[in-house]
Amino acid sequence: MIPVEVAYALPDEQKIIALNVHEGTTVHEAVVLSRMNEYFSDIDPDKDPVGIFGKAVKDPHSTELRAGDRVEIYRPLLADPKEIRARKAAEKAAKAKAEA
């Protein structure tokens, strides 16, 4: 058995579940075993993107875990970070122009 964690976070709440799984357990299997969707009903283990320590996993059904891995279940972003940065830069430029 190897120790792993499965994590999910909302802006105001997070949960990390520690598991001991058999060698060869996949990322998807760990998400299902964690039963995280019982705590957060919006989680869909078959569709939600996942990663290990912040690095996206392209095929969670075949990616096997190693001891100490932390599986992260990702939620959809409310806003695109690139759009937010561009909007802030435009606002800053407009403010500088108005002050000049």
CATH number at residue 39: 3.10.20.30
Work out the average pLDDT over 22-38: 97
What is the side-by-side strand order in the sheet with 50-52?
13-21, 2-10, 70-73, 50-52, 55-56
Strands (E), 22-87: 50-52, 55-56, 70-73
**Domain encompassing residue 57:** 2-99
pLDDT tens-digit profile of 61-96? 999 999 999 999 998 766 677 888 888 888 888 888
d(CA 6, CA 70) in angstroms, rounded, equals: 6
d(CA 78, CA 24) in angstroms, rounded, equals: 34
Q: What is the mean pLDDT of the chain?
A: 93
Decide if 73 contacts 15 (C-beta within 8 A). Answer: no
Q: Please give the tally of structural domains in the chain.
A: 1
Which ranges constitute the DSSP H helices of the chain?
27-34, 81-99
